[in-house]
Structure 1
Amino acid sequence: MARRKSNTEIGATTEFRAGCQVFLDFAYSHPKCVNKKIRCPCWKCKKNNYLDINIVNYHLLVNGFMRNYEECWGAHGQRRDGGFTVHNSSSSNNHRMNEMVHDIVGPDFDWEQAREQPMNSDAKNFFKLLDDGSEPLWDGCTKQSKLSAVATLLNIKADHMSHECFESLLKAIKSMLPDSDKLPENYYYCKKMVKKLGIGYQKIDACPNDCMLFYMENENMTKCTVYGHDQFRPNKERVTTKKSTILFKILRYFPLTDLLKRLYMSSRTAEHMSWHAKSSTKDGELNHPADGKAWKYFDLAHLEFELEPRNVRLGLSTDGFNPFGHSSVPYSCWSVIVTPDNLPP
């Protein structure tokens, strides 16, 4: 292992050292400093690694800043006019999207080492997503990346558009953009890109009367075991096979384990997952489930579980709603929501 140089061995000038200190004071005092770490802007890290102040200072003195980063510290909160970045402006979409992609693997991931090693298909897909998150929507675009633009359009579609309307709008937008635009050709490729973020869902066949799921040990059944209701709508030939018919009902399941892992992958949320053991209020008011008798009773009944504050405590709720009421469609959804009670109010 190479020996780390001492401060006296580093050949940085006094002026450069002073400039680095100004940058560090600015960056570590800004809200974009997460868990006392910032993206290191040295020539090697290129803002890919979250590091503490001592390591960033050492990297800058040894490697210097990455190219063209001396003018404006955009990734650390500075605007071109010298002020702070406004976090809710449209120009910050690209930065927020990159933060989401980086959170998939956490702040301590060694990006440089990972790129140098042989990668499997999952790693290749992830780095492709990372590149999409940094790639401008077209050459010279500064407000949207390829990934942030697709995510914005899909969000609008989910709220207001049909599939056909989205396809037509996508074609119209592409016709207005420069020839160098990176916007996908159709809805299929937009979904395929965002799916790499790992926020997908699993389809599970269900009985129309909500008696059972055709899942795991019931996967090969075609009738409900309670009332004998068919799993599939029969076609014109009255054949009831999976290939020839349509399901009566589908349960869409967002894998819970992956979503809980994401809470600990993100440096912003990981520190809040043990909040209930450190900062819960003691004013006698019921401000959070941690203040209630049920929480305290559970701790007494499960002492081993209570000793690790990072253990996840979940609350469950369900209710029906009609997301298509404005379209006069008599169709309702019943969502089952699982909430991590570790998080602060």
Structure 2
Amino acid sequence: MDPETWMYRLDRFSHEYLDNLVEFEKAANDHRVHRGESHIWCPCTKCQNCQKFDDWHIIQGHLITEGLMSRYTQYDNHDNLDEMLDDIEDDGTYTDYENFQQLIEDNENRCKKLTKLSAVLKLFNLKANNGWSDKSFTETLEVINEMLLEGNELPVSIYQAKKITCSVHLEIERIHTCPNHCILYRNKHANLHECVTCGTSRYLRGKQTEYNSDVTKNGPPAKLVWYFPIIPRLERLFANPKDAKLVRWHADERKRDGKMRHVADSPQWRNIDHEFEEFGDEIRNIRFRLSADGINPFKNMSSRHSTWPVLLCIYNLPQWLSMKRKYIMMSFLIQGPKQPGQDIDVFLLKT
């Protein structure tokens, strides 16, 4: 049933209204858990989302006697862009004020249900999921612009679309590596042209007689690793008061009754605290779980190509949030075609 129909047109004491209210309760509770909140805000006409309760039965009674606040269904926005922009605004490390203001305007510029920013992100998601080329993506934008009314704000090329999304930026490092996984070309090895261990050329061309002193001008690297720095993302995590509270949950709110409910209840956690006392005394220190596995990005199981993403999960969080997509970070992506195997330790030294 359409949300607007049961919320505003049905008798609030009818079976249909009560059945839909039960489904609404499940959705509201899932949303509360996803956001890490311990209370539910009441959306009745009396409370207008300004009062929160622990007991759903109180809210249910309000929604039966008072009804839902007007236009409640119009607030259903699942892309969390407003929350993301609020977090970035609170982040003191963001210095590009003009680009940020443009991003705010793009998120406020609406075409029916979608903002300019959310529309571009949805189109980029389609591009990634369906393997569109840059040319086909630009042609799609051109067709959509012809379908929309004159004066619409949708970009007409992939260049313009990328300019919108690149306003919110996180660092990415492209690190050259030996194709045999011997070394990373960084620090003391940053300007080498050949691997010090196996002698393999750093570049895709293979054997060369002369090298330019600028390593970026000798052609593409034989193997590349994409590194996504963790510290900027942790800074944004702590810049959000709600997330900052959640990463202290294991120390502030976890039940301590001797039962194994959380990783913090394990002997391994206590052993780390005992061995590294200074680290254990600061509850804001992050405990990560690292996991990696090879994937085939070309959807061909017979291919020998293997790309390895390395993911980090935050163990400080409540157990119902630690595996949520929002809190899982990709630390780096080891490009194929050859899988690193036991040599993955070379890459883990970077994290």
Q: Same fold (TM over 0.5)?
A: yes
How far does residue 178 in structure 1 lie from its aligned partner after superposition?
Answer: 1.5
How far apart, in 2, do the equivalents of 1:93 and 1:282 lie? 35
Partner SS for 1:247: coil
Aligned to 1:226: 197
Work out whether 1:145 is the aligned partner of 2:167. no
Aligned to 1:191: 162
Aligned to 1:99: 83
How far does residue 142 in structure 1 lie from its aligned partner after superposition?
Answer: 3.2
Structure 1 pair 24–229 and aligned structure 2 pair: CA distance change class (3 A) = farther
Q: How does 1:6-45 map to 2 (within 5 A)?
A: 25-29=47-51
Q: Deviation per CA, 1:184-243, whole angstroms, max 9, x where unpaired?
A: 222233223222212352211111111111123222111111101111122899765542
Q: Deviation per CA, 1:89-129, whole angstroms, max 9, x where unpaired?
A: xxx257x212211111339x9xxxxxxxxxx9612222221
Aligned to 1:211: 182
Whichever residue aligns with residue 199 of structure 2, its letter is G
Decide whether the 8 Å contact of 1:281 with 1:291 is kept in 2: no
How far does residue 271 in structure 1 lie from its aligned partner after superposition?
Answer: 1.8
Work out whether 1:280 is the aligned partner of 2:254. yes
Decide whether the 8 Å contact of 2:182 with 2:195 is kept in 1: yes
After TM superposition, the score normalised by the length of structure 2 is 0.64
Q: Deviation per CA, 1:284-326, whole angstroms, max 9, x where unpaired?
A: 5544321211111122233333333222222222211112225
Aligned to 1:245: 219
Which of 203, 220, 235 in structure 2 is aligned with 1:261? 235
Unpaired runs of at least 5, structure 2:
1-43, 54-67, 320-351
How far apart, in 2, do the equivalents of 1:142 and 1:186 lie? 22
How far apart, in 2, do the equivalents of 1:323 and 1:222 lie? 29
Whichever residue aligns with residue 27 of structure 1, its letter is N
Number of equivalent positions = 257
How far apart, in 2, do the equivalents of 1:28 and 1:291 lie? 36
How far apart, in 2, do the equivalents of 1:236 and 1:179 lie? 56
How far does residue 329 in structure 1 lie from its aligned partner after superposition?
Answer: 5.3
How far does residue 28 in structure 1 lie from its aligned partner after superposition?
Answer: 2.7
Structure 1 pair 160–200 and aligned structure 2 pair: CA distance change class (3 A) = farther
Aligned to 2:24: none
How far does residue 143 in structure 1 lie from its aligned partner after superposition?
Answer: 0.9
Aligned to 2:125: 155
Structure 1 pair 171–330 and aligned structure 2 pair: CA distance change class (3 A) = farther
How far does residue 276 in structure 1 lie from its aligned partner after superposition?
Answer: 0.4
Aligned to 1:314: 288
Q: Deviation per CA, 1:236-294, whole angstroms, max 9, x where unpaired?
A: 99765542522111111111111111211233422211010123244655443212111
Q: Deviation per CA, 1:14-45, whole angstroms, max 9, x where unpaired?
A: xxxxxxxx9994233369xxxxxxxxxxxxxx
Decide whether the 8 Å contact of 1:205 with 1:250 is kept in 2: yes
Whichever residue aligns with residue 152 of structure 2, its letter is D
Decide whether the 8 Å contact of 2:203 with 2:218 is kept in 1: no
How far apart, in 1, do the equivalents of 2:258 and 2:297 lie? 39
How far apart, in 1, do the equivalents of 2:309 and 2:172 lie? 13
Structure 1 pair 79–159 and aligned structure 2 pair: CA distance change class (3 A) = farther
Segment of structure 1 superposing worse, 278-287 or 213-222:
278-287
Decide whether the 8 Å contact of 1:157 with 1:166 is kept in 2: yes
How far apart, in 2, do the equivalents of 1:229 and 1:296 lie? 45
How far does residue 177 in structure 1 lie from its aligned partner after superposition?
Answer: 1.5
> Pairwise CA RMSD of aligned residues?
3.1
After TM superposition, the score normalised by the length of structure 1 is 0.65
How far apart, in 2, do the equivalents of 1:267 and 1:224 lie? 46
How far apart, in 1, do the equivalents of 2:308 and 2:197 lie? 21
Structure 1 pair 122–303 and aligned structure 2 pair: CA distance change class (3 A) = same
Partner SS for 2:191: coil
Partner SS for 1:151: helix
How far apart, in 1, do the equivalents of 2:209 and 2:161 lie? 37
Whichever residue aligns with residue 138 of structure 2, its letter is E
Work out whether 1:337 is the aligned partner of 2:282. no
Q: How does 1:115-134 map to 2 (within 5 A)?
A: 122-134=96-108
Structure 1 pair 314–93 and aligned structure 2 pair: CA distance change class (3 A) = closer
How far apart, in 1, do the equivalents of 2:127 and 2:231 lie? 28
